[in-house]
Amino acid sequence: MNFEFLLIFLFHICTCVIGSELDYDGYLQLQLFHALNDDPVPNYTERGNITVTSIRTGASTIGQMGLQESQKQDLIKLAENNSKYRMKINVRSSSGSESTFLTSVPACHLLGTELEDILAIWVDGSAQPISITQISPGPCSLSSPPTNMWTTNVEVRHPDGGPTPDTASYIYKIEREKEARERGETKDNRSFIAKYWMYILPAVIFVVLSSAANPDAAGGGGGQRQ
């Protein structure tokens, strides 16, 4: 096997292993807490629960409590002060790991979308959450929303696999160079080892294994001398 083709083969094996991790499916349980105060230390109260039943597809079930009238007024006050609506999210994965994430959006954006937001859950290759971001694009508003109920969409986002290598062009280039060398059009400037490593390596392995299997023979006749 040509050395270049061996490298390509190993690269594809690594790529397949990484890709297989992204096919792992599991679930996530999220506990949502929000802070409607404007103090430096947030006073978190329960907002609801979300269960992502399939990390691969993003399917989820959502149960949230509506805002009480006093809470809605607190949200409006946050918007008037140009303050943030803050969330704390406790997550438990199907593997049993637990983690906590903090996120926030301008309070006026939630009023502008009538309490509609998006929770973007970023997971790594082993389907573990690494970031959760609350998104509410607005527009900004200071008016009281016509509803007390949250409308939340959940998006599970996977890491990009990166650009795919152009192996076909590389293999074509190697084949053309090989044909040129066989026709004598291109001088092979590689070292002796680079040219004949596929023959040298088995011989070296054979010698090492033979020496390990016969340690007495390696000592020769010197053991008889006094």
Q: Per the domain annotation, does 12 fall within a domain?
A: no
* CB of 87 closer than 8 Å to CB of 134: yes
The reported pLDDT for the residue numbered 169 is 67
What CATH number does the domain containing 33 carry? 2.60.40
Average pLDDT over residues 183-206: 72
Domain that holds residue 197: 188-218
Q: Per the domain annotation, does 169 fall within a domain?
A: no
SS3 171: helix
| pLDDT at 108 exceeding the cut of 60 | yes
Average pLDDT over residues 24-29: 84
The reported pLDDT for the residue numbered 202 is 79
Q: Per the domain annotation, does 181 fall within a domain?
A: no
The reported pLDDT for the residue numbered 5 is 46
| pLDDT at 107 exceeding the cut of 90 | yes
Q: Which of 157, 172, 201 is the last residue of a domain?
A: 157
Average pLDDT over residues 28-36: 97
pLDDT band per the 50, 70, 90 thresholds, residue 27: very high
* CB of 154 closer than 8 Å to CB of 58: yes
Instruction: Say yes or no: 121 and 200 in one domain.
Output: no
The reported pLDDT for the residue numbered 160 is 65
* CB of 82 closer than 8 Å to CB of 106: yes
| pLDDT at 88 exceeding the cut of 80 | yes
* Residue percentage of the chain with pLDDT more than 70: 72
Average pLDDT over residues 9-33: 62
Digit-coded pLDDT (tens) for 59-82 = 999 999 999 999 999 999 999 999
Average pLDDT over residues 11-25: 47
The reported pLDDT for the residue numbered 3 is 47
The reported pLDDT for the residue numbered 221 is 47
Instruction: Say yes or no: 206 and 147 in one domain.
Output: no
Digit-coded pLDDT (tens) for 199-225 = 788 788 878 877 776 666 545 544 444
User: Is the alpha carbon torsion for 107, 69, 35, 114 positive or negative?
Assistant: negative
Instruction: Say yes or no: 105 and 207 in one domain.
Output: no
One DSSP character per residue, 83-94 reads: -EEEEEEEEEET
